[in-house]
Structure 1
Amino acid sequence: MEVLIDLPKGSAPRGIAIVCHPQPLLGGHAMHKVPHLLARTLSEAGWFVARPNFRGVGRSGGAHDAGIGEAQDVLALHAQMCAEQPGVRVALVGFSFGAFVQAKVAHALAQRGQPAWRTCLAGMPSGEVEGQRRYETPVDLPDALVVHGELDDRVPLAAVLDWARPQSQPILVVPGADHFFTGKLPVLRRLVLAHLAG
Protein backbone atom coordinates (compact mmCIF):
# COMPACT_ATOMS: atom_id res chain seq x y z
CA MET A 1 0.00 0.00 0.00
CA GLU A 2 1.37 3.37 -1.04
CA VAL A 3 0.98 5.96 1.73
CA LEU A 4 1.69 9.67 1.32
CA ILE A 5 2.92 11.39 4.48
CA ASP A 6 2.38 15.01 5.44
CA LEU A 7 4.67 15.90 8.33
CA PRO A 8 3.33 18.12 11.11
CA LYS A 9 4.37 21.71 11.45
CA GLY A 10 5.98 22.43 14.81
CA SER A 11 7.50 20.06 17.35
CA ALA A 12 5.43 17.28 18.95
CA PRO A 13 2.54 16.15 16.74
CA ARG A 14 -1.01 16.59 18.02
CA GLY A 15 -1.74 13.07 16.82
CA ILE A 16 -2.08 10.94 13.70
CA ALA A 17 -4.71 11.62 11.07
CA ILE A 18 -5.46 9.02 8.39
CA VAL A 19 -7.09 10.77 5.43
CA CYS A 20 -8.86 8.70 2.75
CA HIS A 21 -9.69 9.62 -0.83
CA PRO A 22 -12.78 9.35 -3.08
CA GLN A 23 -13.94 6.50 -5.34
CA PRO A 24 -11.04 4.99 -7.33
CA LEU A 25 -13.45 3.79 -10.02
CA LEU A 26 -14.15 7.46 -10.74
CA GLY A 27 -10.52 8.57 -10.65
CA GLY A 28 -10.14 9.16 -6.91
CA HIS A 29 -6.63 9.14 -5.43
CA ALA A 30 -4.68 10.52 -2.47
CA MET A 31 -3.78 13.72 -4.35
CA HIS A 32 -7.44 14.57 -5.09
CA LYS A 33 -8.14 18.19 -4.11
CA VAL A 34 -10.35 17.43 -1.09
CA PRO A 35 -8.12 14.93 0.78
CA HIS A 36 -5.07 16.94 -0.29
CA LEU A 37 -6.54 20.12 1.21
CA LEU A 38 -7.56 18.32 4.41
CA ALA A 39 -4.12 16.72 4.76
CA ARG A 40 -2.35 20.04 4.26
CA THR A 41 -4.72 21.74 6.72
CA LEU A 42 -4.13 19.09 9.38
CA SER A 43 -0.35 19.00 8.95
CA GLU A 44 -0.28 22.79 9.34
CA ALA A 45 -2.30 22.34 12.54
CA GLY A 46 0.34 19.95 13.88
CA TRP A 47 -1.00 16.54 12.84
CA PHE A 48 1.08 13.71 11.36
CA VAL A 49 -1.02 12.82 8.32
CA ALA A 50 -1.06 9.54 6.39
CA ARG A 51 -2.90 9.42 3.04
CA PRO A 52 -3.14 5.88 1.65
CA ASN A 53 -3.84 5.17 -1.99
CA PHE A 54 -6.49 2.47 -2.10
CA ARG A 55 -6.00 -0.85 -3.89
CA GLY A 56 -5.00 -0.46 -7.52
CA VAL A 57 -4.37 3.29 -7.17
CA GLY A 58 -0.92 4.82 -7.66
CA ARG A 59 1.66 2.31 -6.47
CA SER A 60 -0.77 0.37 -4.25
CA GLY A 61 -1.23 -3.23 -5.31
CA GLY A 62 -4.46 -5.16 -5.63
CA ALA A 63 -7.82 -4.35 -7.16
CA HIS A 64 -10.83 -2.35 -6.03
CA ASP A 65 -12.78 -4.26 -3.37
CA ALA A 66 -15.91 -2.12 -2.84
CA GLY A 67 -14.68 -0.87 0.53
CA ILE A 68 -14.18 -4.25 2.20
CA GLY A 69 -10.49 -4.80 1.46
CA GLU A 70 -9.86 -1.06 1.58
CA ALA A 71 -11.15 -0.94 5.17
CA GLN A 72 -8.94 -3.92 6.07
CA ASP A 73 -5.95 -2.06 4.61
CA VAL A 74 -6.70 1.09 6.60
CA LEU A 75 -7.13 -1.00 9.76
CA ALA A 76 -3.67 -2.50 9.10
CA LEU A 77 -2.22 0.99 8.58
CA HIS A 78 -3.90 2.15 11.80
CA ALA A 79 -2.43 -0.80 13.71
CA GLN A 80 1.05 -0.17 12.32
CA MET A 81 0.98 3.54 13.16
CA CYS A 82 -0.31 2.86 16.68
CA ALA A 83 2.46 0.28 17.20
CA GLU A 84 5.10 2.78 16.05
CA GLN A 85 3.65 5.62 18.17
CA PRO A 86 1.86 4.01 21.12
CA GLY A 87 -0.56 6.18 23.05
CA VAL A 88 -0.90 8.77 20.28
CA ARG A 89 -4.48 9.74 19.46
CA VAL A 90 -5.68 8.82 15.98
CA ALA A 91 -8.28 10.66 13.89
CA LEU A 92 -10.00 9.12 10.87
CA VAL A 93 -10.86 11.53 8.05
CA GLY A 94 -12.50 10.57 4.78
CA PHE A 95 -14.18 12.11 1.77
CA SER A 96 -16.82 10.39 -0.39
CA PHE A 97 -15.83 6.71 -0.86
CA GLY A 98 -13.02 7.43 1.61
CA ALA A 99 -15.65 8.47 4.17
CA PHE A 100 -17.48 5.18 3.60
CA VAL A 101 -14.22 3.28 4.19
CA GLN A 102 -13.48 5.32 7.31
CA ALA A 103 -17.00 4.63 8.63
CA LYS A 104 -16.24 0.91 8.31
CA VAL A 105 -12.87 1.40 10.02
CA ALA A 106 -14.39 3.47 12.85
CA HIS A 107 -17.11 0.87 13.36
CA ALA A 108 -14.57 -2.00 13.45
CA LEU A 109 -12.33 -0.17 15.93
CA ALA A 110 -15.31 0.60 18.19
CA GLN A 111 -16.37 -3.06 18.08
CA ARG A 112 -12.85 -4.00 19.24
CA GLY A 113 -13.08 -1.59 22.16
CA GLN A 114 -10.39 0.62 20.59
CA PRO A 115 -12.38 3.52 19.11
CA ALA A 116 -10.69 6.17 17.03
CA TRP A 117 -10.19 9.42 18.91
CA ARG A 118 -12.33 11.33 16.40
CA THR A 119 -13.86 10.63 12.98
CA CYS A 120 -14.66 13.16 10.23
CA LEU A 121 -16.75 12.02 7.27
CA ALA A 122 -17.57 14.33 4.35
CA GLY A 123 -19.79 13.51 1.38
CA MET A 124 -20.26 9.98 2.71
CA PRO A 125 -22.29 7.63 0.52
CA SER A 126 -25.14 5.61 1.95
CA GLY A 127 -27.82 3.61 0.21
CA GLU A 128 -28.05 3.84 -3.57
CA VAL A 129 -25.99 6.57 -5.22
CA GLU A 130 -25.22 7.78 -8.75
CA GLY A 131 -24.09 4.95 -11.05
CA GLN A 132 -26.36 2.38 -9.34
CA ARG A 133 -23.79 1.65 -6.65
CA ARG A 134 -25.16 0.72 -3.23
CA TYR A 135 -23.44 1.37 0.10
CA GLU A 136 -24.31 -0.37 3.35
CA THR A 137 -22.77 2.24 5.64
CA PRO A 138 -22.21 1.17 9.25
CA VAL A 139 -24.08 2.89 12.04
CA ASP A 140 -23.06 3.68 15.62
CA LEU A 141 -19.99 5.78 14.91
CA PRO A 142 -18.68 7.32 18.14
CA ASP A 143 -17.49 10.95 18.02
CA ALA A 144 -18.22 11.23 14.30
CA LEU A 145 -18.57 14.53 12.47
CA VAL A 146 -20.68 13.92 9.36
CA VAL A 147 -20.71 16.80 6.85
CA HIS A 148 -22.78 16.85 3.67
CA GLY A 149 -23.50 19.30 0.88
CA GLU A 150 -27.07 20.49 0.51
CA LEU A 151 -26.86 20.15 -3.29
CA ASP A 152 -24.85 16.92 -3.49
CA ASP A 153 -25.95 15.29 -6.76
CA ARG A 154 -23.83 12.15 -6.35
CA VAL A 155 -24.99 11.26 -2.84
CA PRO A 156 -28.42 12.78 -2.23
CA LEU A 157 -28.77 14.43 1.17
CA ALA A 158 -31.98 12.44 1.67
CA ALA A 159 -30.01 9.16 1.55
CA VAL A 160 -27.63 10.31 4.28
CA LEU A 161 -30.54 11.53 6.42
CA ASP A 162 -32.20 8.12 5.97
CA TRP A 163 -28.98 6.55 7.30
CA ALA A 164 -28.74 9.01 10.20
CA ARG A 165 -32.38 9.01 11.33
CA PRO A 166 -32.58 5.64 13.19
CA GLN A 167 -29.52 6.46 15.29
CA SER A 168 -30.22 10.21 15.63
CA GLN A 169 -26.77 10.92 14.14
CA PRO A 170 -26.42 14.67 13.59
CA ILE A 171 -25.52 15.75 10.05
CA LEU A 172 -23.91 19.13 9.40
CA VAL A 173 -25.33 20.39 6.10
CA VAL A 174 -23.36 23.02 4.18
CA PRO A 175 -25.90 25.19 2.34
CA GLY A 176 -25.30 25.41 -1.40
CA ALA A 177 -22.47 22.86 -1.37
CA ASP A 178 -22.19 20.16 -4.04
CA HIS A 179 -20.50 16.79 -3.60
CA PHE A 180 -17.01 18.27 -3.97
CA PHE A 181 -17.78 21.29 -1.75
CA THR A 182 -16.93 23.54 -4.70
CA GLY A 183 -16.48 27.07 -3.37
CA LYS A 184 -17.21 25.74 0.14
CA LEU A 185 -13.92 24.00 0.95
CA PRO A 186 -12.98 26.70 3.51
CA VAL A 187 -16.18 25.78 5.40
CA LEU A 188 -15.31 22.08 5.35
CA ARG A 189 -11.78 22.94 6.45
CA ARG A 190 -13.06 24.94 9.45
CA LEU A 191 -15.49 22.21 10.50
CA VAL A 192 -12.82 19.49 10.44
CA LEU A 193 -10.32 21.65 12.34
CA ALA A 194 -12.92 22.50 14.97
CA HIS A 195 -13.84 18.83 15.44
CA LEU A 196 -10.20 17.85 15.90
CA ALA A 197 -9.30 20.81 18.10
CA GLY A 198 -10.00 19.08 21.41
Structure 2
Amino acid sequence: MTIDVTTVGFTTTDGVASHGDLAVPTEPRAVAIVCHPHPLHGGDRFHPVVTALHEVLPTIGVASLRFDFRADFDGGAGERLNARAALDEVTRRVGRMATFALGYSFGAMVVLGLDHHDLEGIVLVAPPLGRAELPDSSPAGTGALVVVAEHDRFAPPDVVAPITSTWPDTTVEVVESADHFLTGRGAEVASRTAEWVAGRLPPAGLSGRGPRRSRPSRRRRASG
Protein backbone atom coordinates (compact mmCIF):
# COMPACT_ATOMS: atom_id res chain seq x y z
CA MET A 1 0.00 0.00 0.00
CA THR A 2 1.25 3.45 -0.94
CA ILE A 3 0.65 6.27 1.53
CA ASP A 4 0.94 9.87 0.34
CA VAL A 5 1.96 12.29 3.13
CA THR A 6 1.53 16.04 2.66
CA THR A 7 1.77 19.09 4.91
CA VAL A 8 -1.42 21.11 4.50
CA GLY A 9 -2.76 24.47 5.58
CA PHE A 10 -6.38 25.51 6.13
CA THR A 11 -8.37 28.25 7.82
CA THR A 12 -11.09 28.10 10.47
CA THR A 13 -14.43 29.90 10.20
CA ASP A 14 -13.09 32.61 12.55
CA GLY A 15 -10.07 33.23 10.32
CA VAL A 16 -7.34 31.33 12.19
CA ALA A 17 -4.72 29.60 10.04
CA SER A 18 -4.04 25.94 10.88
CA HIS A 19 -1.41 23.48 9.71
CA GLY A 20 -1.26 19.72 9.73
CA ASP A 21 -0.06 16.51 8.10
CA LEU A 22 -2.35 14.56 5.78
CA ALA A 23 -1.62 10.87 5.14
CA VAL A 24 -3.73 9.29 2.39
CA PRO A 25 -3.63 5.60 1.40
CA THR A 26 -3.98 4.56 -2.23
CA GLU A 27 -7.68 3.70 -1.97
CA PRO A 28 -9.12 5.41 1.11
CA ARG A 29 -12.33 4.00 2.58
CA ALA A 30 -12.75 6.70 5.21
CA VAL A 31 -11.22 9.90 6.55
CA ALA A 32 -10.24 10.97 10.08
CA ILE A 33 -8.75 13.77 12.14
CA VAL A 34 -6.50 13.33 15.17
CA CYS A 35 -6.54 15.98 17.93
CA HIS A 36 -3.55 16.47 20.23
CA PRO A 37 -3.31 17.02 24.02
CA HIS A 38 -3.39 20.35 25.84
CA PRO A 39 -1.27 22.97 24.03
CA LEU A 40 -0.46 24.79 27.28
CA HIS A 41 1.13 21.61 28.63
CA GLY A 42 3.35 20.86 25.66
CA GLY A 43 0.80 19.11 23.47
CA ASP A 44 1.09 19.32 19.71
CA ARG A 45 0.47 17.18 16.66
CA PHE A 46 3.81 15.41 17.06
CA HIS A 47 2.96 13.87 20.45
CA PRO A 48 3.87 10.12 20.40
CA VAL A 49 0.29 8.94 21.02
CA VAL A 50 -1.03 11.26 18.31
CA THR A 51 1.70 10.08 15.95
CA ALA A 52 0.87 6.42 16.61
CA LEU A 53 -2.81 7.01 15.87
CA HIS A 54 -2.07 9.12 12.79
CA GLU A 55 0.29 6.52 11.33
CA VAL A 56 -1.88 3.46 11.93
CA LEU A 57 -5.02 4.82 10.26
CA PRO A 58 -3.76 4.77 6.63
CA THR A 59 -2.74 1.11 7.09
CA ILE A 60 -6.44 0.21 7.42
CA GLY A 61 -7.54 2.46 4.57
CA VAL A 62 -8.32 5.65 6.49
CA ALA A 63 -6.90 9.00 5.38
CA SER A 64 -5.65 10.82 8.49
CA LEU A 65 -5.16 14.52 9.20
CA ARG A 66 -3.32 15.48 12.38
CA PHE A 67 -3.06 19.20 13.04
CA ASP A 68 -2.04 21.82 15.59
CA PHE A 69 -4.60 23.84 17.51
CA ARG A 70 -4.47 27.63 17.35
CA ALA A 71 -1.51 29.42 18.92
CA ASP A 72 -3.69 31.46 21.29
CA PHE A 73 -5.45 28.99 23.58
CA ASP A 74 -9.22 29.52 23.58
CA GLY A 75 -10.43 27.22 26.35
CA GLY A 76 -11.82 24.62 23.96
CA ALA A 77 -14.26 26.70 21.92
CA GLY A 78 -11.71 27.90 19.37
CA GLU A 79 -10.04 24.49 19.36
CA ARG A 80 -13.36 22.94 18.32
CA LEU A 81 -13.37 25.36 15.39
CA ASN A 82 -9.89 24.05 14.49
CA ALA A 83 -11.21 20.48 14.61
CA ARG A 84 -14.28 21.32 12.55
CA ALA A 85 -12.10 23.02 9.95
CA ALA A 86 -9.84 19.96 9.87
CA LEU A 87 -12.85 17.72 9.22
CA ASP A 88 -13.92 19.97 6.38
CA GLU A 89 -10.39 20.05 4.96
CA VAL A 90 -9.82 16.29 4.95
CA THR A 91 -13.22 15.82 3.31
CA ARG A 92 -12.44 18.46 0.70
CA ARG A 93 -9.08 16.91 -0.17
CA VAL A 94 -9.97 13.21 -0.01
CA GLY A 95 -13.72 13.08 -0.62
CA ARG A 96 -16.99 12.71 1.26
CA MET A 97 -16.97 9.32 2.95
CA ALA A 98 -17.20 7.69 6.38
CA THR A 99 -15.60 10.11 8.85
CA PHE A 100 -13.96 9.60 12.25
CA ALA A 101 -12.62 12.01 14.87
CA LEU A 102 -9.92 10.92 17.32
CA GLY A 103 -8.39 12.77 20.24
CA TYR A 104 -6.00 12.22 23.12
CA SER A 105 -6.47 13.87 26.57
CA PHE A 106 -7.56 17.49 25.94
CA GLY A 107 -7.96 16.56 22.29
CA ALA A 108 -10.43 13.87 23.31
CA MET A 109 -12.57 16.51 25.04
CA VAL A 110 -12.45 18.65 21.89
CA VAL A 111 -13.72 15.66 19.91
CA LEU A 112 -16.43 14.98 22.48
CA GLY A 113 -17.65 18.55 22.09
CA LEU A 114 -18.11 18.31 18.31
CA ASP A 115 -21.39 17.69 16.52
CA HIS A 116 -21.23 13.92 16.06
CA HIS A 117 -24.19 13.30 13.79
CA ASP A 118 -22.11 13.37 10.61
CA LEU A 119 -19.43 11.09 12.07
CA GLU A 120 -19.18 7.32 11.78
CA GLY A 121 -17.30 7.14 15.07
CA ILE A 122 -15.19 8.94 17.65
CA VAL A 123 -12.18 7.72 19.61
CA LEU A 124 -11.44 9.26 23.01
CA VAL A 125 -8.01 8.32 24.38
CA ALA A 126 -7.49 9.12 28.08
CA PRO A 127 -10.28 11.71 28.16
CA PRO A 128 -10.19 13.64 31.48
CA LEU A 129 -13.88 13.01 32.09
CA GLY A 130 -13.54 13.29 35.84
CA ARG A 131 -11.79 16.64 35.71
CA ALA A 132 -12.90 18.59 32.65
CA GLU A 133 -16.35 20.07 32.23
CA LEU A 134 -18.39 17.73 30.07
CA PRO A 135 -20.12 18.93 26.91
CA ASP A 136 -23.88 19.27 27.04
CA SER A 137 -24.48 16.08 25.08
CA SER A 138 -23.06 12.58 24.92
CA PRO A 139 -22.05 11.04 21.56
CA ALA A 140 -25.60 9.84 20.90
CA GLY A 141 -25.35 10.28 17.14
CA THR A 142 -22.34 8.03 16.62
CA GLY A 143 -20.33 5.13 18.03
CA ALA A 144 -17.53 5.74 20.49
CA LEU A 145 -14.35 4.00 21.60
CA VAL A 146 -13.04 5.20 24.97
CA VAL A 147 -9.48 4.12 25.79
CA VAL A 148 -8.78 4.47 29.53
CA ALA A 149 -5.47 4.05 31.36
CA GLU A 150 -5.84 1.85 34.43
CA HIS A 151 -4.00 4.33 36.66
CA ASP A 152 -5.14 7.56 35.00
CA ARG A 153 -5.16 10.18 37.77
CA PHE A 154 -7.68 12.33 35.92
CA ALA A 155 -10.17 9.68 34.80
CA PRO A 156 -9.49 6.11 35.94
CA PRO A 157 -11.88 3.31 34.93
CA ASP A 158 -14.11 3.72 38.02
CA VAL A 159 -14.70 7.38 37.06
CA VAL A 160 -15.20 6.74 33.35
CA ALA A 161 -17.57 3.78 33.76
CA PRO A 162 -20.59 5.61 35.24
CA ILE A 163 -20.18 8.56 32.85
CA THR A 164 -20.11 6.39 29.73
CA SER A 165 -22.63 3.79 30.93
CA THR A 166 -25.51 5.69 29.31
CA TRP A 167 -23.70 6.31 26.02
CA PRO A 168 -25.12 4.06 23.30
CA ASP A 169 -22.85 2.07 21.00
CA THR A 170 -19.79 2.65 23.20
CA THR A 171 -16.78 0.44 23.79
CA VAL A 172 -14.44 1.09 26.74
CA GLU A 173 -10.93 -0.34 26.59
CA VAL A 174 -8.79 -0.34 29.76
CA VAL A 175 -5.03 -0.27 29.21
CA GLU A 176 -3.59 -2.03 32.23
CA SER A 177 -0.51 -0.82 34.11
CA ALA A 178 -0.62 2.55 32.35
CA ASP A 179 -1.14 6.11 33.55
CA HIS A 180 -2.61 9.13 31.78
CA PHE A 181 0.53 9.77 29.73
CA LEU A 182 0.54 6.26 28.21
CA THR A 183 4.33 6.34 27.98
CA GLY A 184 5.51 3.53 25.72
CA ARG A 185 1.96 2.38 25.06
CA GLY A 186 1.22 4.35 21.91
CA ALA A 187 1.50 1.31 19.64
CA GLU A 188 -0.93 -0.65 21.81
CA VAL A 189 -3.43 2.20 21.84
CA ALA A 190 -3.10 2.56 18.08
CA SER A 191 -3.62 -1.18 17.55
CA ARG A 192 -6.79 -1.22 19.67
CA THR A 193 -8.03 1.87 17.86
CA ALA A 194 -7.34 0.41 14.43
CA GLU A 195 -9.25 -2.76 15.31
CA TRP A 196 -12.29 -0.76 16.40
CA VAL A 197 -12.23 1.66 13.47
CA ALA A 198 -11.74 -1.18 10.96
CA GLY A 199 -14.90 -2.80 12.32
CA ARG A 200 -16.88 0.30 11.38
CA LEU A 201 -15.52 0.83 7.87
CA PRO A 202 -17.77 0.34 4.84
CA PRO A 203 -17.12 -2.76 2.72
CA ALA A 204 -14.19 -2.60 0.33
CA GLY A 205 -15.16 -0.68 -2.79
CA LEU A 206 -17.62 1.49 -0.90
CA SER A 207 -16.58 4.72 0.77
CA GLY A 208 -19.89 6.31 1.70
CA ARG A 209 -21.32 6.19 5.18
CA GLY A 210 -23.87 3.39 5.32
CA PRO A 211 -26.97 3.04 7.50
CA ARG A 212 -26.34 3.38 11.22
CA ARG A 213 -25.72 -0.04 12.72
CA SER A 214 -26.92 -0.56 16.26
CA ARG A 215 -24.28 -2.03 18.55
CA PRO A 216 -24.45 -2.72 22.27
CA SER A 217 -22.06 -0.93 24.57
CA ARG A 218 -19.23 -3.09 25.88
CA ARG A 219 -16.23 -2.96 28.14
CA ARG A 220 -12.89 -4.71 27.63
CA ARG A 221 -9.55 -4.64 29.38
CA ALA A 222 -6.41 -4.37 27.26
CA SER A 223 -3.55 -6.01 29.09
CA GLY A 224 -0.05 -4.69 28.71
TM category, shorter: 0.7 to 0.9
How many Å separate the matches in 1 of 2:196 and 2:75? 28
Q: What is the aligned partner in structure 2 of residue 7 from structure 1? A: 23
User: Is 1:109 the counterpart of 2:116 in the alignment?
Assistant: yes
Query: What is the root-mean-square deviation in Å for CA atoms of aligned residues?
Result: 2.1
More helix by share: 1
Indicate which of 59, 73, 91 corresponds to 2:100: 91
Q: What is the aligned partner in structure 1 of residue 183 from structure 2? A: 182
Paired residues in the alignment total 180
User: Is 1:24 the counterpart of 2:34 in the alignment?
Assistant: no
The residue correspondences of 1:160-179 to structure 2 (distance < 5 A) are: 160-167=160-167, 169-179=170-180
Equivalent position SS for 2:33: strand
Are the aligned partners of 1:5 and 1:48 in contact in 2 as well (CA < 8 Å)?
no
Deviations 1:165-197, CA, capped at 9 Å, x for gaps: 344644221121211222433321221111111
Query: TM-score if structure 2 supplies the norm length?
Result: 0.72
Q: What is the aligned partner in structure 2 of residue 131 from structure 1? A: none
Query: TM-score if structure 1 supplies the norm length?
Result: 0.80
User: Is 1:119 the counterpart of 2:135 in the alignment?
Assistant: no
Deviations 1:76-121, CA, capped at 9 Å, x for gaps: 221233244443221111111111111112xx132xxx2x122111
**Cα separation, partners in 2 of 1:170 and 1:86, compared to 1, 3 Å:** closer
Are the aligned partners of 1:164 and 1:170 in contact in 2 as well (CA < 8 Å)?
no
More strand by share: 2
Deviations 1:103-140, CA, capped at 9 Å, x for gaps: 112xx132xxx2x1221111011132xxxxx3214413
How many Å separate the matches in 2 of 1:140 and 1:7? 26
Unmatched segments (≥5 aa) in structure 1? 57-62, 129-133
Are the aligned partners of 1:6 and 1:43 in contact in 2 as well (CA < 8 Å)?
no
User: Is 1:38 the counterpart of 2:78 in the alignment?
Assistant: no
- AA aligned to 2:158 is A
Q: What is the aligned partner in structure 1 of residue 139 from structure 2? A: 140
- AA aligned to 2:121 is R
How many Å separate the matches in 1 of 2:149 and 2:126? 7
Unmatched segments (≥5 aa) in structure 2? 1-16, 202-224
**Cα separation, partners in 2 of 1:192 and 1:170, compared to 1, 3 Å:** closer
How many Å separate the matches in 2 of 1:124 and 1:34? 13
- AA aligned to 1:193 is A
How many Å separate the matches in 2 of 1:43 and 1:166? 31
